[in-house]
Amino acid sequence: MKYILVLLLITSTGLAHSSMDEINRLSSALCEYIKNDDRTSIRKKLRSANLDLRKTYTGFVCQPEGDFKGGSLLRTATYFGASQVSTFLIRKMERSDIAFKEHDGKTTVEWAKEAVESGAVKNADKAKSIYAEMESRSAD
């Protein structure tokens, strides 16, 4: 929903093309940092773009790659076993964003549970730890 509002705002101001390019570049950069478990670069990128993750989290989507079907930043971090990034994301995002249903109709927690149980992640041990942290945060 937040993503749609951002798109409407950008479109209504006539900046759709250049701003969408910027959003796509930012999203791609964040996804690459996640794959490398580079929390510092994510923090710097968000700070330089003057973005608050709590307000913009659902607007970022990582594209499919190999067996990964794409999805949110936290789903990407879970799949690639990016434990440092996932801890940062879980602490910075709204609790409601953890319960946000993605393109496949599943929340990140539901997806993570299934992915960990089926072994559909790059690093099962790290993914289990990330899943446990997500569950704990969503239960708070």
pLDDT tens track for 50-76: 999 999 999 899 999 999 999 999 999
The token duo for 21 is 């390019």
| Alpha helical stretches, state H, the chain | 2-12, 16-35, 39-48, 53-56, 73-80, 83-92, 95-98, 108-118, 124-139
Asked whether residue 9 carries a pLDDT value surpassing 60, the answer given is no
Residue 15 has pLDDT above 60, yes or no: no
Write out the residue range of the structural domain in which residue 98 sits: 2-139
Q: Please state the domain count of the chain.
A: 1
Check which CATH number belongs to the domain holding 106 and give it. Answer: 1.25.40
**pLDDT higher than threshold 50 for residue 3:** no
Torsion sign, CA atoms 21, 66, 126, 119:
positive
| Cross-strand pairs, 68 | 65
Residues 6+ apart with CB under 8 A from 122: 79, 80, 81
The token pair that represents 114 in the structure block: 């299934």
Structure tokens at 113: 């549970």
Q: What is the pLDDT of residues 95-129, one digit of tens each?
A: 999 999 999 999 999 999 999 999 999 999 999 99
> What distance in Å separates the CA atoms of residue 93 and residue 96, rounded to the nearest whole number?
8
Query: What pLDDT is stored for residue 19 in this prediction?
Result: 81
